Structure 1
Amino acid sequence: MNRTILMMGMSLLYLTGASLPPTGPLPDQKPDQAQPGNKVQPESTSPDKKKPDQKSEDKDATSNGAALPDPAKVPTPLPSPTDSPAGEKPADDKVPEQKTSEPAEAPPPPIMTEDPAAYSQCLKDLTAAGVTFVEKTRIDDGDGCGIDKPVEVSSILPGVTLSPKATLRCEAALELSKWVQTAVLPAAEQALPDKGKLTSVNQASSYICRKRNSQSTGKISEHARGNAIDIAALSFEKGKVDMTIAEEKNPTMSGAFQRTLNASACLYFTTVLAPGSDETHMDHMHLDLIRRNNDARFCRDPKE
């Protein structure tokens, strides 16, 4: 018993000699917490080390490790017209008209109205020149095509028919008659005496509603206004002379005759396109009375 008490006493004495440490082990300090008296070193901001929350511009924007955008910095999309409340139209509900690079084609010119006094005098002059004609009713074919006071000419001089009959403005018919009387007849007598008298002027086109050179677009032709006529040939008592390309170097009398016609026509008409002047006038003369500033003339010879 005494021994037991002695052992218990020794055990108590042993236990009281083993004291606990002044303080227990402390937990690891978090990076963003500083203990009193300790200085926290700032994180390096060198270019090769980025903050944990900084976005990387050199990473692919994928779901594997890519930083999500900050909701506060994402712009709010504008509402579309379909997002408008029911019954309300958005402010800009009209689609702007698309502009085309091609300019709009100008409207056709109106039909030329004849001056009554000038028209009356023209009819008197036609009669005095021996032209055979019939006055026709006004022509209006739309698109600017038409003649206010047309005349149908069957002969341009006494004994010289216009074949086939031509529908023209009176002024165009009168200028054609003057040209044949004062230029064509004398030139033919000088250059082609073996052909005999002139019997017919053969025309290929007078009034017709179309664009220039029969194109689908562009300006209206003077043929569509009764201001133009195409001469294809001249018929004489002893043969026919076609309107042909007469180069300047052609030394023949027929070449000289054709060049005389080309040049003299410009004294009567404001536009003369000689045979061969372009691809659409290879076998006839085009004559018209288009009005230009200062009564300007456009006369084109064959292409060399």
Structure 2
Amino acid sequence: MREFRKMAVILAALALLPGARLPRTGPVPQAKPEAATEAPAVPQPEKKPEEEQVPKPQPAPAQNPETPPAASEVPTPQPKPSEIPAAPAVEKFGPPSPAPEDLTPKPPAEQTLEEQHLTIEPESDADHAECTTELQSLGVVFRETPRIDDNNGCGIDKPIIVSQALPGIALKPEATLRCPTALALARWMKGSVIPAASVALPESGDITTINQASAYICRLRNGADTGKISEHARGNAIDIASFSFKKGEDVAVRSRRDDSTLTGAFQRTVSAAGCLYFTTVLDPESDAAHETHFHLDVIKRKGDFRYCH
């Protein structure tokens, strides 16, 4: 028995020696248990250096809604524009700059005479000569005077000073006008006023004087501070306050709408007839600004439009 064991040990040692061969009849090695078939490894794309260096974003840790945020996480409230204090004003020398609304042009009705930047209208030499020739033929007493320029558009290019509207009919005080205004006055007196007076007031005799309240004067309409320039400021207008007669009393221009006398009829007649000679006629029935006189002017309008009230 011991010999058999020795023999087995010798054979085992021989089997471990290099180049040793096992006997053909030796024990057959058993196969290992079948392992799961492994899929072939798929080659992975090589990562770029940039991608390897960029850290992936980490999900924010869940916060307890009841846990207040840290002081550094609380947003700082921003003030509203209206709550931002204005910068201290820098002291400047000289007049203050105008406010934006002051730079907006005013409408003509709100402009002063200086703001309108008007100019004097030139007159044709030929037209002026023709007009003065006709005045002379009617017997108007006048004299020429140098050009008037009172700035801001006030003035007359070729003014005349009228002392008698017609022969024997004085204009008091004498009036500085443009020739077309004096010519319209003479025609009105000759064609309408004198005939109406001879019919309505024959006992008063002839008209001796026209008492005027205003001729040339530099101002706006109705003497206002703002608005359109008056035709008086251009020599185009004259205001008649009353008529003096050789025998009777003066006939003052006043409201006579309900005056049923011949004097009332005379005033209403000459007021209506004025629109045949002047382009504007305003009488005491027009407004409060004309309750004591006739306003007569020769302003030119489109289509020869006339305003008579």
| TM-score, length of structure 2 as denominator length | 0.67
Structure 1 match to 2:129: 120
Residue 147 (structure 2) aligns with: 138
Counterparts of residues 238-249 of structure 1 (less than 5 Å) = 238=247, 239-247=249-257, 249=258
How far off its partner does 1:43 sit? 7.8
Question: Radius of gyration: which is bigger?
Answer: 2
Post-superposition shift, 1:76?
A: 11
Paired position in structure 2 for 1:60:
none
Quote the offset at 1:74 in angstroms. Answer: 6.0
CA apart distance, 1:108: 3.9
Specify which structure has the higher proportion of helix: 2
The structure 2 residue matched to 1:281, chosen from 290, 294, 297, is 290
Q: Which runs of 5+ in 1 are unaligned?
A: 1-41, 45-49, 55-66, 83-94
**Corresponding position: 1:203 with 2:212:** yes
Aligned residue number for residue 106 of structure 2: 103
Shift in alpha-carbon separation, 1:182–1:68, aligned structure 2, 3 A: farther
Please report the RMSD computed on the Cα atoms of aligned residues, expressed in angstroms: 3.0
**Matched AA of 1:126:** L
Alignment partners' CA distance in 1, 2:71 and 2:303: 78
Q: Deviations over 1:99-154 (max 9, x none)?
A: 24772636243111001111110010010010000000000001110000000000
User: How has the CA–CA distance of structure 1 residues 119 and 158 changed in structure 2, closer, same or farther, with 3 Å as cutoff?
Assistant: same
Structure 1 residue 250: Cα displacement: 3.0
| Partner Cα separation in structure 2 for residue 52 and residue 99 of structure 1 | 55
What is the one-letter code of the residue matched to 1:196?
A: G
> Structure 1 residue 254: deviation in Å?
1.0
Which residue of 256, 272, 278 corresponds with 1:269?
A: 278
Separation (CA, whole Å) in 1 of partners of 2:225 and 2:130: 37
Q: Are residues 68 and 149 of structure 1, via their aligned partners in 2, closer, same or farther at CA, if it must alter by over 3 Å? A: farther
Q: Relative to structure 1, is the Cα distance of residues 189 and 98 closer, same or farther in structure 2, using a 3 angstrom cutoff? A: same
Q: What residue identity is the alignment partner of 2:101?
A: K
Match for residue 168 of structure 2 among 141, 147, 159: 159
Q: Runs of 5+ in structure 2 lacking a partner?
A: 1-61, 88-96
**Is the alpha carbon distance of 1:68 and 1:148 closer, same or farther for their aligned partners in structure 2, counting shifts above 3 Å?**
farther
Residue 145 to residue 72, structure 1, CA distance change in 2 (3 Å) = same
> After the TM superposition, which residues 28-67 of structure 1 pair with which residues of structure 2 at under 5 Å, given as runs?
50-53=65-68
Q: Please give the TM-score of this superposition, normalised by the length of structure 1.
A: 0.68
Task: Give deviations 1:39-62, integer Å, cap 9, x for gaps.
Answer: xxx888xxxxx53226xxxxxxxx
Three-state SS of the structure 1 residue aligned to 2:119 is coil
State which drifts further: 172-181 or 251-260: 251-260
Report the residue type matching 1:272 in the other structure: V
- Partners of 1:125 and 1:288 lie apart in 2 by 19
Instruction: Give the drift of 1:217.
Output: 1.3
CA distance 1:290–1:81, change in 2 (3 Å): same
Matched, 1:188 2:203: no
Deviations 1:58-97 (A, max 9, x none): xxxxxxxxx968466666999x998xxxxxxxxxxxx996
1:232-243 superposed matches below 5 A: 232-238=241-247, 239-243=249-253
CA distance in 1, matches of 2:72, 2:243: 90
Query: Is this contact kept in 2: 1:108–1:220, CA < 8 A?
Result: no
How many residue pairs match? The answer is: 229
Give the Å deviation of 1:277: 1.6
1:68–1:276 CA distance, 2 compared to 1 (3 A): farther
Q: SS at 1:280's partner residue? A: helix
- Tell me, yes or no, if the aligned pair for 1:276 and 1:283 is still in contact at 8 Å: no
* 1:248-291: CA deviation from partner (whole Å, max 9, x where unpaired): x4321111111101100011111111123211111110001111
Q: Which residue number in structure 1 is paired with residue 226 of structure 2? A: 217
**Is the contact made by 1:156 and 1:162 (CA closer than 8 Å) also made in structure 2?**
yes
Q: Counterpart amino acid of 1:98? A: P
Q: What is the Cα deviation at residue 167 of structure 1?
A: 0.1
